[in-house]
Amino acid sequence: MGTVSFLLIMVILTALAFDFTNGFHDTANSMATSIATGALRPRVAVIVAGVLNLAGAFLSTEVAKTISGGIVNDAKVSLVMIFAGLVGALLWNLMTWLAGLPSSSSHALFGGLIGAVWVGAGSSAVQFGAIIEKIVIPAILSPIVACFVSLLATYFAYVITRRTAPGQARTGFRRGQIGSASLVALAHGTNDAQKTMGVITLALISAGLLPHNAGPPWWVVLSAGLAIALGTYTGGWRIIRTMGKGLTDIEAPQGFAAETSATTVILASTHMGFPLSTTQVCTGSILGAGLGRKLAKVRWGVAGRIALSWLLTLPAAAAVGGAAAWIADRGTAGVALVAATAAAAAAGFWALSRRRPVTSDNVNELPARQYGQTERTAA
C-alpha cells in the first residue's frame, strides 16, 4: 500500500490548477464566435460552455492510459517529472492567456513533460519521432484543414443567403451557431478533462494507492470535471476577444460556418484515426471564415502572433518544465520551492492582467492601441 506524500498532493493540486487554466484557455474555442456575433450573451455563453464541459467529463470513460501518449518514454516518467511538466504547462498557459493568445493546452502539457523528462532521464527518454508525428505535423495540418473547410463553408453560406433579408439570415445563423458551439464545448469536455483525470490516476497508481490499470476514482472524475468547468465558466475573456474580434470581423454566417467546420473536423479527426489539435482547428476555422467573406478583414499581424505562440509552446513549456524538474528533484524543499515560485508567478500574471482587464463587459470591444487604428473601418 502506498503512502500519500507531499509530492503526490502537489501533483494532484497542480494537475487540477492546470485543468482550470485548460478550461479558461479553451472557452474561446467553443464560444468566441458566438459571443462576437451576439448569438449568446457573454455570461450565458460561458455558463453553457462550463456545463457542457462538466457533462463531457462524465460522459467519456476513455481515460488516457499513458501520461504522454508516447511522446516520452512513460516507463521513465517519475512523479517529480509529472509535477514539473504540469508547472511548465500551467505557467505557459497563464502567459499566453495574459497575451490573449489561443495556444494549445495539450501541447503545453507535452512540452512541460518533454522538458522535465529530458532533464530527469536524459534525451534518450524523449521520443523525437513521436513528437513530430503526434504534435508538430497535426499542429501544422490542423489550421490548414480547418481554414480551407471553413472558407468554403462561409462562401456557400453567403452565396445561398445573398437574397435573404439580412435580419432573417442573422437570426437563423445565430441560432445555428448555438447548436454547433455547444457540440464543440461538449467534445472538449470529453477530451480535455480526461487528460487531467489520466494524469492524476497515473500519479495515484505510481504512488501505489491504486492498482495497475485502475480507472479513475469518482473523486478524480468529479474534481477534474469541476476544475475544467469552473475554468471554462471564468471565461478566458482575453483569448475570446482575440479569437472573436481580433483575428477577423465575424458575422453570424461566418460564426456558424466556423463552428460547424471546427466541430466536424474535430469529430472526424478523433474518430478516423488522425488526431488533430482542437485549438489549432478552432483558430484555423475562424481564419477561414474571415477569408471566406468578401470584404472581411483578416488581421495577419494577430494571426502571425498566434502562429508564433504555437511555435514557442513546446520549447517554452519544456524550458520551464526542465528547470522545475531540476529544482524539484532536490527533495521536498525543491518541490515546495517550485510550487511556491509557480504560485507567485501565477499571482504575478493575474496582477498584470488587472492593468488592462478584459471582462464579459468589454470582450467585444477592441482596444485601438493593441490592434491598430483601422479595425473600426471593417464593420
State the residues that interact with other proteins by CB under 8 A: 56, 59-60, 62, 65-67, 70, 73-79, 82, 127, 129-130, 132-133, 137, 141, 145-146, 148-150, 152-153, 156-157, 160-161, 163-165, 168-169, 172-173, 176, 179-180, 183, 186-187, 190, 202, 205-206, 212, 253, 256-257, 260-261, 263-265, 267-274, 276
Least distance between other proteins and beta carbon 269 (Å): 5
Least distance between other proteins and beta carbon 23 (Å): 18
Q: Which residue, 184, 310, 290, is CA-closest to 247?
A: 290
Q: Which is nearer to other proteins, 8 or 240 (CB)?
A: 8
Q: Which is nearer to other proteins, 100 or 321 (CB)?
A: 321
The distance between the two most distant Cα atoms of the chain, rounded to a whole number of Å, is 71
Least distance between other proteins and beta carbon 254 (Å): 11
Least distance between other proteins and beta carbon 264 (Å): 5
Cα radius of gyration (the chain): 20
Q: Which is nearer to other proteins, 141 or 312 (CB)?
A: 141
Q: Which is nearer to other proteins, 34 or 206 (CB)?
A: 206
Least distance between other proteins and beta carbon 100 (Å): 27
Q: Which is nearer to other proteins, 82 or 101 (CB)?
A: 82
Least distance between other proteins and beta carbon 374 (Å): 30
Least distance between other proteins and beta carbon 217 (Å): 16
Q: How far apart are CA 278 and CA 282, in angstroms?
A: 6
Q: Which is nearer to other proteins, 134 or 241 (CB)?
A: 134
Q: Which is nearer to other proteins, 89 or 276 (CB)?
A: 276
